[in-house]
Structure 1
């Protein structure tokens, strides 16, 4: 979610109390609600009893607090003592009248039913008693004050919930799922997983299935089969070796389990996966009319953001206005006639591809291309991104222009460059080698990172950007290498979140790749210094500082493989 949207979200959000009531529940009596029509904050002032929410039962006592979301059913029972309780029904709304969408990271507290530690909630009960008193007066100003007090309680609720994420009291399903993701190649048993969660086998199975829609052992099999299929598709490892890596000591048993999961035995799956992949890639390219190709009677046609370009013969003098495209051409053993560089006061080519650009003319920078230099170069093809749309007409008078989205997959672009330059086979080989390499490295990293998560963060002027699997570099970590993402970012379509430095512990990762701007600004920024200081001394050995310019701006095959090199160095050196 962009920073501006996050700021607007909370700035325009208000908490509105719908009703408040309190009372004493005598021993043996029951208070029950089915399918709540609003969110509820339930607090206990004194007494002892049980709370059941959707079939889960827990013991409650004095200063107990529970957050119960809309649609939940609960039953409150007084056992050995009378229960003094307070029920606050509320809803969160937008002051602008728009429908409110909570931040999308996993299990946001306002979308989750949960119980807070009773020791910390005494002050909440006192505030709730004030809300009851003011609400009962039924006066406009008093109810206005009651809503203000409730808004403060919701703030405390969110902060306490987030500060506890990833700690010893994390949800049992999250803890078990994290453990499985790092140990699924080993011989796991339900009793072992239940002991880890601190519950019975039956309770773990029920809770796990509610959240994951499959049991814990089914989850183990799913991870094993997904990893095995990746090895079969992208490596030439023998079936017996793959079976052993996945925790199967009997290759025959592995083959039976694989066939049951995928419908075909491992060897047939391997033989047909290549043709399936080619068909899928062709179909996906045809569906994407912005970055794709098709064959015509006149030759290969490249589809881009501004139209189509028919390749009647490979271009000889190509000008590129993004460094990543220079990387693509060099990977295909070609050199652009001209390319933009990096830097501001001194413009140059990035170090990792500089040697291959000895005879390439410098054409300014990505943000500020030197258009007269492009015109003087007289290329027969220009390749740029949507950032250069304002220059499109002028560039088109120099040579044909291909315009791609800057955030397009490097593999898609490399495939199109192979079509464009007559090097299809070379492009396919580079992509296949990358998949093979990351598949093997993923298996090597899995035991090293067992039960640990990895965050990708970038300090900005006063905030920290936390990148998700949807970001291009995040995809290398989380999709290609299968590194475990923190719960904070695991389930989102946003490319990044922006949080204050003070809230960095909420991410709760075991390892941090810190995208540093030190090389660009000749020193560490104040925000970056605060990030280092915010993390505990014991965690500093798990901070891996990397160059932001390379990790964020260089998305060609050489740059991406360089990122993979640094990840391997960080964890395996």
Structure 2
């Protein structure tokens, strides 16, 4: 049967999507003698196995696609580290009034009962469609099912097109072509070089060299170019707001988008729109400034391209190093602020009464030097106001709130564990993961910036210092940092009081835990994803409350893994197959990220249902005993007086009746 006849039958048939099943199997967890209940596509997205379909053997490794018909017998024997696959079940029906020609074609060969298996040349296109289709199907609403059905047709078109072109190639797959197409199809999503290379089963450096050689550009620059081409089209052909355009091409922050667009095209977005429409230029104002200059966040399947994965970053793991900002841009903003301040007869923070008082007049004749103190911090020594009245925080909100410091700008967003507190105190807060909002900090007119930065973030520190004196402290060891910062702000006594209160709570919690479950209670802290699981070590700052401060015993297998890693390692990412090795009395499980919105968090919790179906999960001793405790990453993946106090509450709720 030729392809023209197969495609004609596909075009004439009514397709009904019956089910999408996501399955993970470990070695020994075989599927034997399974009769396909309908036509089926088997999309193997990870791992290796020996598969038998209707008596034909297939050796599967990595991405692989198979198709079988109703009644075909399927056997799966996972090998290596196991496998994960999607089984997509569908039914095809030709119209009753179909012509005799269609019936003769169907007799010559039914494409819906076709048996085949192959490694696609462009698996990322299929993987992206499969994930969207499965997510829509899982939501189960009528509208989402309609979307899943439409996505199935796209998936069918893609696999048939790739099957037609499939043939053995001595040169291997075209990695550049796959990467380019993936970027073009998914430019609106956050993408990393590391994540893209992982999907293509090559190293990030190798993929970068291939793109540089073939296209003369880096993956990051190519992604930016694709995004900006779409932005130019939207600006020229639609009246969409900049906020909408930025979000639609993968930029959660409209100001960062505006800077990137101007760097790429030479014109700010609104001037580009005016030029494209033949109108006079309009004011270059990307959007009306608000207290929260952040756009709705996109899916977090990947982090922004070429961000560094480093321990100790912005809360969640992996951590993101702040994106760099142009020094020239920061200096320009500072100069603008300086001149706007000079144009006013009184300071920006000066009350009318103070401006007209004798003291104010005397100050204008004989200005007094503002009092400063020299402070030693993680980035060196800095002179700061002796009594700062306008403090901007970048990552140390928990400590500063505990000190009741005069905050005028904070780094937080809806869903963050401190967001509601900041709102109640009328403290402006904004945050875009992976990016420092310099404009919001500048608008707040701080006289001091208190930040959490990595030692390597020298450029970020220099940029902040152009706005106001900046001091940097460690968030992981907040007890030490709060005392040092308390001294700098003249709030040392309050800092010691916060530490004492936390130590008292910790002592009482330890006593309650020992009384309830004894002194040898073992625990383990994990975070699963759809493909693997993160096992956190006692040395990790964000989970040390559980293992170290509360005096609980770390899981024996976890300690074995830790002994094989470098000192201070955060933990280890492992396959699901290791889960039954965790013999701890209690399993603490966190999901999502530290900056997840409430709906995102709840959706992630609901997805645990798929994990709980796995055989390896059911074999975990703590699962068998019903001693699994789900806790929120929104405070567990951060440190501070409030965050760590919430962790203590979680552990007490789990262990103490």
Q: TM exceeds 0.5? A: no
**What TM-score do the two structures reach when normalised by structure 2?**
0.38
**What TM-score do the two structures reach when normalised by structure 1?**
0.43
